[in-house]
């Protein structure tokens, strides 16, 4: 197929998509904007990289310490979920940054565990101080609470995952009195549309999907990502 013919078919595809959206009553200007700019990065609401200072240069790698925990009362089904979520965030943050031509690295879990073993009183340290000891620029402190994975009233026959996630992000160079650089609550729901029957999905698989989706949404709070990637990844 020649390039001219290929371009002609590509244009036809765009207009066909536009016609389909118009047929269901969507705003044509919004649709055209998506078609033309779907690969533009969407700005993160709580960016890790500052706009000023040494770390504003994207050629310099931003190092992040990820700490994950859960509030009391989390069900036994989610035992160990904090460690799994930390590992998923350690993977997601650099991946998302790479897509936006940014550089983000997460302090390896092995380094964190080694530090904890050598410092039995580490839990008494504030998050920013701990991050500074481990060579991080920022600390992402995540606490997962109010976890519910079943639809209320379903007798545990239908999955409908929900959680309230508290996130504090600390700049290790800031005075302790300044508090977190970012602080927010993320109400999480999975799946976004519909529900999943317990008979169709093993608990272990649903838990993994739940945490993977949560890790993705949290990473997007701090790293710019492409609109096209974001829409395609919705579940």
Domain map of the chain by residue range? 1-37, 41-232
Per mean pLDDT, which range of 74-88, 105-119, 141-155 is the poorest?
74-88
| Tokens coding 48 | 């890790």
* Eight-class DSSP state of 65: E
Mean pLDDT of 49-72: 92
> What are φ and ψ of residue 25, in 5° steps?
90, 20
pTM above 0.75?
yes
Confidence of residue 77 (pLDDT cuts 50, 70, 90): confident
Mean pLDDT of 140-156: 92
Centre a 10 Å sphere on the Cβ of residue 232 and count the other Cβ atoms it contains.
9
| Helix runs in the chain, H state only | 3-23, 28-37, 81-99, 109-118, 127-133, 203-220, 227-232
| Tokens coding 181 | 């650089």
Share of the chain above pLDDT 70, in %: 80
State whether CATH 3.40.50 applies to domain 41-232. Answer: yes
Which three-class secondary structure state does DSSP give residue 76?
helix
């Amino acid at each position: 197929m020649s390039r001219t013919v290929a371009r002609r078919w590509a244009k036809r595809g765009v207009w066909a998509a536009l016609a389909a959206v118009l047929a269901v009553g969507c705003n044509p200007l919004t649709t055209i904007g998506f078609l033309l700019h779907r690969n533009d990065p969407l700005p993160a609401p709580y960016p890790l990289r500052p706009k000023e200072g040494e770390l504003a240069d994207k050629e310099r790698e931003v190092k992040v310490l990820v700490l994950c925990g859960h509030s009391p009362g989390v069900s036994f089904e989610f035992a160990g979920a904090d460690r799994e979520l930390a590992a998923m965030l350690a993977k997601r943050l650099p991946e998302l940054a790479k897509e936006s031509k940014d550089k983000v690295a997460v302090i390896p879990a092995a380094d964190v565990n080694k530090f904890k073993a050598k410092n039995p009183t580490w839990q008494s340290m504030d998050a920013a101080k701990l991050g500074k000891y481990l060579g991080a620029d920022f600390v992402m402190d995540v606490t997962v609470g109010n976890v519910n994975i079943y639809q209320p009233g379903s007798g545990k026959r239908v999955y409908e995952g929900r959680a309230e996630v508290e996130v504090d992000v600390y700049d290790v160079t800031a005075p302790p009195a300044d508090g977190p650089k970012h602080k927010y609550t993320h109400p999480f729901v999975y799946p976004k549309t519909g529900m999943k029957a317990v008979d169709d999905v093993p608990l272990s698989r649903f838990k993994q999907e739940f945490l993977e989706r949560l890790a993705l949404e949290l990473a997007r709070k701090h790293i710019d990502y492409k609109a096209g990637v974001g829409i395609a990844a919705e579940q």
